[in-house]
A and B are shown apart, each in its own frame.
Chain A
Amino acid sequence: MTTHDEHAHPELGFWRKYIFSTDHKIIGIQYIITAMAMAVVGGVLSMLMRLQLGWPGTLWPSLENIFPTGFAGGVMEPGFYLSLVTMHGTIMVFFLFTAVLTGGFGNFLIPLQIGARDMAFPLLNALSYWTFLLSCITILGALFATGGPPLGGWTAYAPLSAVPAMGPGQGDGMTLWIVAIALFTASGLMGGLNYVTTLLTMRTKGMSMMRLPLTQWALFITAILGTLAFPVLLAAGILLTFDRIGGTSFFVPAGLFLADGTLIDHSGGHPLLWQHLFWFFGHPEVYIVLLPAMGIASDILSTFARKPIFSYKMMVYSMSAIAFLSFIVWGHHMFLSGMNPLLGSLFTLTTLLIAIPSAVKTFNWIGTILGARIQFTVPMLFALGFVSTFISGGLSGIFLGTSASDIAMHDTYFVVGHFHLVMAVAPLFAAFAGIYFWFPKMFGRMMNMTAGKVHFWISFVGVNCVFMTMHASGVAGHLRRIYDPTQYAFLEPVYGMNQFISISAFVLGAAQILFLVNFFASIWFGPKASVNPWNATTLEWTVPSPPGHGNFGPELPVVERWAFDYSVPGAKEDFVMQTEAPARVESS
């Protein structure tokens, strides 16, 4: 077992090599490409939403041809709009961000960066991907369910989600939604067990925990978060399913009736129970998305700043603190839910507490690039974009975490702008940075950097036009999940803003097509990549692009230093690989 013979593996056929593979690199790429396909669906849904919000009630006869029921008569139906809201949120949160950041980068990077040949349980890993794919198909199936897709939002608040008769789409569509989320949970748990085990037991010689790249720390903490949070969502989903099909009353109180007077046969449950269980999962989920993004951005910032990461230890501690605190802040989603106001005070305190480690991370990123020699590559631009949007979105969270100002902000576009910046745009930028950065390692070719720069500049301007403006429209009172804002006279000041946001969103969406074309064209036509095109220090840059099966040569690498030795005084070059023996340069 100490030596690894490349020739011991018989050459695998196309199907075994690229489709039913147990190689972590292939599985990671499968996750990334599947998530990109889901993102296209989720993105198109959001464009349709913007169409309605910008120009409510306008006739779109051509769209009626594509969506005969959604655009019956050429005008978007209210139910269709709410389905867009629900499916956009669900697809993006679970099937894009969670999947691409933990499933995609986690699988691809963990063994490569810690010096292992594969995950601890390659077969379980493959099973995790195929379960994920099944959940993707299921959630897409909800789009075509009888009665339409669910319309209760990605949070699926009970009793709207618990009683199928409460709305169209709450029948079969909602059932498929629950099944998809349960499958996704199972897939995430399989991945999480694998990540933790691999990171703890398979690090190569010299790769101590405190020498891990920050991406690895982030993925490690994320995997633990998932292990603790996903089962609670699963429990909530099981109880919800019994409410829907078994006649139980966990989330449905007695004495409810429909608009036509039909009594609902339930007794005794509590709607807030769902919210408690959901957000106990839901808030850690925010960090399941955000932590890997932070890790990726940290590593990329340091690489292209050509400067060590500032305060590595505090980066690790603050991520751990964020992970811990994320389990005791869920109530800030429920300030106005009728929950005991005393709990509101408590959750305000814990929520503002979590702002401290978040601020630490921001300081450290700025400390990293201060006095640097920044190379403005495409990954670096996106990493800088990540920092900027994280600051904007993080700060606007303080308004919402303070229960008193949340009275004004709750359920408005201020919230929409906030969570998009902090858990959609920032992670998306980190994911883009990661893809541009590791693409050469994935496919052995470089992406087109000119197209990448155009992609960045449009995206960076676009997201700020869209989501900062949403903050302002939220202050003006614009409610979220509203099909037609012109229903309310007090929203008149935001009508124009909505059009501005919509046009910006279309431009932003178009720029992503550029990315997709660049991605797929570069797989075949990009210029060949060298072993270490970015002069980075971590282990994956010591092996060919793309690495062969088993990642490393006959001997696993031995790690001699941390991952951030850039611009070491006296060193021959401005980066020192992690495998470089300390004798060559003494670093402090």
Chain B
Amino acid sequence: MLSSFQRWGLIAGGAGLLLALAPARAAVTVEFDIQPRVLHVGESAQAQFTVRGEKRPTTPPLQNLPGLQVSDPAVGSQTTIINGRVDHFVTFTYQLMPTRTGRIKVGPQRYLTGGQSFALAEIELQVLPLNAATDNTPATAGAAGASSLADLVFARLTAEPVTVYQQQSFTIQLAVYFRDINLDRNISLSNWQPEGLSLSAFQELAGTRAVISNQIYNVRQFRCQARALSSGRISLTPTVRGGLVIPRARRQRGGVFSDPFMDSFFDNPFFAQSEIRPIDIDLTPLDITVKPWPAEGRPPNFSGAVGRFTMEARVQPQDVAVGDPVTVTVQLEGQGNLETLAAPVLAASDNFKVYEAKLTSKDVNDTQTAGRKVFEQVLIPRSTAATNLPALAFSYFNPGKGVYETLTRGPFRLQVRPSAAGAVAILKAGELAPTATPEGRDIVYLKPAPARWASAPQGSWLTSPGFWGLQALPLLAVGVTRLISRRRAALSQDLRRARRLRAPRSARAAIRQAEIALRQGQRGPFFEALWTALAAYFGNRLNLAPGEVSFEALAAAAQRAATPPALLERIRRLLAQCEQERFGRATHPEQGAPALPADEGEPLIEELQALLRAFERIRL
């Protein structure tokens, strides 16, 4: 347990540590601002003093201002610690109520605090008469008939500058002015694909107010960066679309459910019902003139860089042996078309073998208009005479001055020693010869003949229509299999239909047995097989149990299906013949079973097949 003394000691220690971390004494700064600066009589503005670096500043005097009623100041203070940096400021806020129209100047004034005196600049307020103001409902504004929609809301598109050079970056600003209406937050641009311009996304700036024709407009401002890709005249005619927020008609009041509390509750803006109607905001087109780069004074190494740039270059190492790589690092920094900026490169020479310059680092802002690019190019000295690396030159067009400027770094001195491995010859590409290739560094020898020589050019079969037609087969198979699978599933649920479909197949097997018996001349097995075929077919076809197949059952079912009597009679005769042969021989075994001649059996098989085919066509 800590004693009270120890606890207070710890608190004091912590506070002391905080004080020790805090800067000894920050410089005192004072800011003074009034917003809004344009207002009507009856509206109030806020004047705010922000004093930084002073814990107990004196209250700034803001009294006896002609044309303004000034309230007592509201005092607030805030301390923030970010990354160990303590920021403490005190604010004094006054409400200013204009009592007359016209321009009212506040200041300039001096403010004394902490023994220091601060000069505060003059701020001018513009106060408009009350009749210039309207209420906030568009319906009222419309009823007054004083303003059209184009007066209430319009947009202006501006460019800075309006005349630019090819590849020059510039700013396009869209300002939407509105008054006496509620404009939805969402504002969109259509038809905003100007050819010949590379555009960044629009960013919204802080809102402001402006006085136009003695009317106060709220202004929403958007800005984007543009770059002209080619010379010519570019006309920007976008359509600005906004949303007009219109309150819906309020509920009828009165009646037994009228309740002042509920009315006021639902009249709360949170519950206010309103609708947004899209409107096209009036906009004057903007024409931009893009001038080509002047031909006069264009340096030969100019590669389309436009803007203002600085260049740094260094060569490392500067003491090398022949054949060792030397890296030239070039850093280009500035404002302009950095995205398309190419490195200034050193050309190949007899003294140096050069590799392509590579971009190793890029740090460009979101709008691609300012930043830094670092390139590296590797060179290899061919001989000890390669001691002088020529100067690097980078030319760009400065649109502000309208002239070409060239930055030059170098030439650079190198100490080139003979190679430790001896004379390593580095050849120019056009001087390659087999005898001159260094040992151990050569191309791989020839490939042996291919195992198979193709008959057609590579890939021709792969893209032939026949090949692709063949690929339909698996899809077809999948489709058919799916149908079979679904049919199986359906049949497993519907036994009657399954047996109906199985009927011809079951008869077919028995007919084959009958044909075998006929070939062997066996009367008994032949008629047994005929009976089996009839029983299997009609049993499955009529969904009968094996023992239930009889002519009576068949006749009853056939009667319902309106089977021709002649067909029934033929079936009856065949069944009777089968039964007679099967059971007649069994009851008189002493008579024996005579052989079955083919001219007796074949008509019976044909008759059986004809009967089954005919019955197959009957819908039961």
Bound pair: A and B?
Answer: no
